Structure 1
Amino acid sequence: MVKVLLCGVFILLAAILLSIGGTMLQHLFSVRKKCGLKIIGTVSGFQVEQRRKTKRYYPVFEFEIKGCRYQGKSHYGTREPRYRLHQPVALQVDARYFVRLYERKELIRTRIFCAVCCSVGGIALFLSFLFAFSPIM
């Protein structure tokens, strides 16, 4: 009985973590495919949005491509502004439309979280098989 319960818990944990990691991995591959242009932009301001009881600060970046200047808002908002005005920031931009832009630092954090979820999920799946086929219990 305990063996079956442990197997079920580990399989459930593995399924949750692997689905989260897989979804994030799919998003990262999509961003890499669509947003291949790596540039340096500057923070030109912040867009403030009220979310529940807190304010979220979304940096607005300004960048130049082939002599044309563009502006775009980040997809990542924080409670406190994480950049100073006119601070240079590494960005990845959709080369076709220049409307999607991602901060490379945030993409690295997402990649690390995705790797951790997939690794822990894989370990949990391995442990579930270990408990299922072990002769001890």
Structure 2
Amino acid sequence: MTEMEDAEDRSPFGRLTRESAVVALLCALPFFLFFAYLGDPAKGRAAAGSVGMIVLVVWMSWDLKKHMWFWTTIATLVLLHLPLVLFIPWTNTNYPGVVLLPFGLLDLAIMYGCIKLAERIMKRSDGISSAN
């Protein structure tokens, strides 16, 4: 079995590796630093957490990258995260990662569910249009 076949056979959560965690961290870090520079590290933690989870859900669903509906769904999820990060008054309480992890995982699961729902809807609409 080749490496490509092995990657396709794994479950989406099996695709989460140390490499994916490092990529998500590197993508999220500039958002934290930006808000910390502006004097709001709490908002920076929220932004970094959101960006990290979005990066991980894209990583998990990378096999759908050729579909326009996938990128539309990702853009919608990003737009839904913006008001959560920008308009909620985040406290400067320094929570340890163990406390924040369940919320991040819930966010990840909801976004992954949205992508799978969109995939199911698009497959069904493709089946209807090809039957006509």
Q: TM-score, normalised by structure 2?
A: 0.35
Give the number of the structure with larger relative contact order, counting CA–CA contacts within 8 Å between residues 6 or more apart.
1
Q: TM-score, normalised by structure 1?
A: 0.34
* Structure number with higher helix proportion: 2
